[in-house]
Structure 1
């Protein structure tokens, strides 16, 4: 398995061919009659976290405009911010926090294991393990050597890549967009989503956000729907462009 220290996790490309066993699937769909019902985490708040004595924060969000609100427990604020950015990434279909155990041998030959902070399923079917650390440790040579050794011993049946990230691995503009996507997904408005998606189809290959909103005629509802569609990757934009009225958007993805 390859390992990467990502100074820019905006692009979650995969170098090796995908061979992981496929332990993750599409997240649970929302119940249209109760769209704000929360699917609880597999963790309990009293479950031990690796970087602290217990889970300290919860992130509640949708991973897609059609999915249920999900709860993710985080051992630190750093984890909560990385999870937020993963959840808003158009290449990320699903992820599970602190669930994947990787066995390895230490330098002295003794057996050990680690429970990885996040295990993500990408749109292309590949799976990525994420070790979340604050920025200083995420760049520390000794820690990166440790993770590289673990990644070499990790079966490719578990995942295709192992990446070390902090919240600052995501560009500041991407982080700002992720927060907007997170807020927009709190809403539930499938009718507006479909109207804006149809307007994007009518506008063709390239258009501004303002042109899309004018075409939809939905005002604020249209803006929130457009943000959700951008987050889902159904309307494209450059990952480092802000969500702004003059931002150029790409036509609907196949």
Structure 2
């Protein structure tokens, strides 16, 4: 889930294991909940995130508990509290986000510039492999092209893992 958040350009800050929220459960007992993440968006909105396995949510009635937590959450803490399970995202989205994180760890301005030039000279719809071929930089260009799908320069047209065969569209050509 962290990689999915890191991949989003609209998230400005991620706080893992943010401060406790004290609430009373259905029996009136004092309880504590620590959201897994507190996300701050670039527009200033804040979202507390609880991450749970679907089986646990269904077996423990956590959705009901979440209502009590949300009701007790101070307005300055976050604008809302949401539940994320493994059904909230696809496995390919998680793999793509993790790969993006790995690719961002090694900046390559030369490959980024070559891909930007290739995008400008390519047909409106092309494949990642065709863009990579235009640059002559092989894997370096693949990583740069992959990153450009998250930066908003390219829009991915195919669902699933982002691969050399993935079709992309230059966003400036709308």
Aligned to 1:170: 89
**TM-score computed with the length of structure 2 as normaliser:** 0.78
1:185 aligned onto 2:104: yes
**CA separation of 1:206/1:100 partners in 2, compared to 1, >3 Å: closer, same or farther?**
farther
Q: Secondary structure at the match of 1:163?
A: strand
C-alpha change, 1:212 and 1:112, in structure 2 (3 Å) is same
C-alpha distance in 2, partners of 1:198/1:235? 13
Partner of 1:209: 128
In structure 2, the CA distance between the partners of 1:230 and 1:93, relative to structure 1 (3 Å rule), is farther
Structure (1 or 2) with the greater helix fraction: 2
Aligned 8 A contact 1:174 1:239 in 2: no
Q: Deviations over 1:5-51 (max 9, x none)?
A: xxxxxxxxxxxxxxxxxxxxxxxxxxxxxxxxxxxxxxxxxxxxxxx
After superposition, residues 59-78 of structure 1 pair within 5 angstroms as: none
Tell me the alpha carbon deviations over residues 85-110 of structure 1, each in whole angstroms, 9 at most, x when there is no partner. Answer: 32234544431201243343333445
2: CA distance, partners of 1:100 / 1:233: 33
Consecutive unaligned residues in structure 2, runs of 5 or more:
none
Q: Higher relative CO (CA 8 A, sep ≥ 6), structure 1 or 2?
A: 1
Give the Cα separation in 2 of the matches to 1:148 and 1:238. 37
Give the match's secondary structure for 1:193.
helix
Kindly indicate whether the alpha-carbon contact (under 8 Å) linking 1:132 and 1:164 is maintained by their aligned counterparts in 2.
yes
Which structure would you say has the larger Rg?
A: 2
Shift of 1:119: 1.3
Q: Which runs of 5+ in 1 are unaligned?
A: 1-81
For the Cα contact (< 8 Å) 1:103–1:114, is it kept in 2? yes
| Counterparts of 1:207 and 1:108, CA distance in 2 | 59
Go from structure 1 to structure 2 and tell me whether the alpha carbon gap of 1:125 and 1:226 turns closer, same or farther (over 3 Å shift): farther
CA spacing shift, 1:118–1:241, aligned 2, 3 Å: same
SS at match of 2:5: helix
- 1:140 and 1:104 map into 2 onto residues whose CA distance is 21
Aligned length: 173
